[in-house]
Amino acid sequence: MLPLGLSFQQAPPPSIPLRFFVTAPLFLLAAALLLTWEGPQALAVRNGPVALALTHLITLGGSTMVMCGALLQLMPVATGLQWPFPRQLATLVHVGLTLGALLLPLAFLWHQRAVMALAVLSLGIALGTFVLAFLARFRRFPLPPPSLHTQRLALLALGVTLTLGVTLGLARYEPLSIPYQHLAALHPLWGLLGWTGLLIAGVAYLLVPMFYLTPAYPKPFTAGFATIVFGLLTLRTFAADTAPFTDSALGLSALLFAGITWQRLLARKRQVADVSRPFWHLGLAALMVAGMLGCLLPWTSPATTEVLAGMLGMALLPGFILTLINGMAYKIVPFLVWFHLQSAHPRLGVIPNVRQIQSGLHGKAQMALHGVTCCLLLAACWEPALMRSAGLLWALDALWFEVNMLRMAGLVIRIHRVARMHAAV
């Protein structure tokens, strides 16, 4: 087994993850504008074209976009193994994912068979290559530590999610003999809890203790959590009659992760103000809400199922996933930008430190706006008349996030320009 350690010297250039971080807020902005345009009717039908378009703008263009960029950066750092062709791999994944995340919502909205086929092809190539590339690297670790084990299961869950999504996309236009409703219920479970949830957990095992100076996660928890969640999803897939029990167990798993992570953050060794920590608290609170709803939803009456399912989606997507993506971006990206610039130009005296980079992003103000947006989106599930107001706030939130990511990219460009000018003198 290769030694595992954080080796930042192996990190690829920041242009690789930054292209993903800069692209993702644009899809979130598109989702917010679509929600504003459709208003109260946006989520009237849970599996309607607008709801599906919104969901995939968030999950593919927003969260998966960021997570792919973060993993391309994190893998060499966590394992010391460099990608053989990092720029080519990043370009293929980024272009294919961008194209697919744009075309798939349009296919739902326009009911166009050709657009769906192009979306499925783009996503299949991009995410299929991404999964295979990572799983090939994980073969170097026959007995991986908990963080890598959890990330590997997350990538397997992404493969399952992709397979289910491609099958469902083709089934909308081709007479496939499949249990469509069962697969349609499994697709978001594998995507949100398997791929996204497990990846966030695996990254948290590494980054929460390192960046926030917290105690390490309990070893029994990190050793078994991902395997249990993956096992519950597998049971849910092949034993449909266990759905109420497995769904409730998955909800309890979400509550467990949220509770342990919250306790880690409260036990910080140094209680220093940090712009990203409130994002974690908000995201974990939303996960607790989602976990409780997930436990209750299988046992509720049909009259309340639609409303509670909408609240569950809002708590998971904007509330938990997008909030943590914001928080991790404000912690990881400034550090990576500073580290790269310091390593590339060690004698240049104009490089700001990490806190200076963070302070220029106005993250606390965006955190307040994001928190209000999440609360309003949750309330709009009960009172659809609030949907347009929530959409407008969400659009401003996404635009703010985009401006901050562009500032990061612009800082890298400006520092490199200054370095070239000094070298030319």
Q: Does 1 fall in a domain?
A: no
Rounded-to-integer distance, Cα 86 and Cα 77, Å: 13
129-173 tens-digit pLDDT: 999 998 888 787 766 788 889 999 999 999 999 999 999 998 988
53: burial class by Cβ within 10 Å (0-12, 13-18, 19+)?
buried
- What is the reported pLDDT for 424? 59
User: What average pLDDT does the segment 224-233 reach?
Assistant: 97
Q: Is 3's pLDDT higher than 50?
A: no
The number of folded domains in the chain is 1
- What is the reported pLDDT for 250? 97
Q: What single letter denotes the amino acid at residue 226?
A: A
Instruction: Categorize the per-residue pLDDT at 356 as very low, low, confident or very high, splitting at 50, 70 and 90.
Output: confident
Q: Does 52 fall in a domain?
A: yes
Q: Is 210's pLDDT higher than 50?
A: yes
CATH code of 260's domain: 1.20.210.10
SS3 (DSSP) at 56: helix
The DSSP 8-state label assigned to residue 269 in this structure reads S
The DSSP 8-state label assigned to residue 267 in this structure reads T
Q: Does 331 fall in a domain?
A: yes
Q: Does 405 fall in a domain?
A: yes
Its pTM stands at 0.92
Q: Is 244's pLDDT higher than 60?
A: yes
82: burial class by Cβ within 10 Å (0-12, 13-18, 19+)?
middle
Which one is predicted more confidently, 6 or 82?
Answer: 82
What is the percent of the chain where pLDDT is above 90? 60
Per-residue b/e over 362-393, b at no fewer than 16 CB within 10 Å?
A: ebbebbebbbebbbbbbebbeebebbbbbbbb
Q: Does 178 fall in a domain?
A: yes
Rounded-to-integer distance, Cα 222 and Cα 243, Å: 25
Domain that holds residue 118: 8-411
Per-residue b/e over 400-424, b at no fewer than 16 CB within 10 Å?
A: bbbebbeebbebbeebeeebeeeee
- What is the reported pLDDT for 4? 44
Which one is predicted more confidently, 355 or 350?
Answer: 355
What integer best gives the mean pLDDT of the chain? Answer: 88
User: What average pLDDT does the segment 161-186 reach?
Assistant: 92
280-332 tens-digit pLDDT: 999 999 999 999 999 999 988 877 888 889 999 999 999 999 999 998 888 88
Among 326, 336, 346, 332, which residue's Cα sits nearest to residue 280? Answer: 326
DSSP character string of 299-352: GS-HHHHHHHHHHHHHIIIIIIIIHHHHHHHHHHHHHHHHHHHHHH-TT-TT--
List the structure tokens of 208.
């929460």
Residues 6+ apart with CB under 8 A from 86: 12, 16, 72, 76
Q: Does 425 fall in a domain?
A: no
Q: Does 2 fall in a domain?
A: no
Q: Does 169 fall in a domain?
A: yes
List the structure tokens of 105.
């919502």
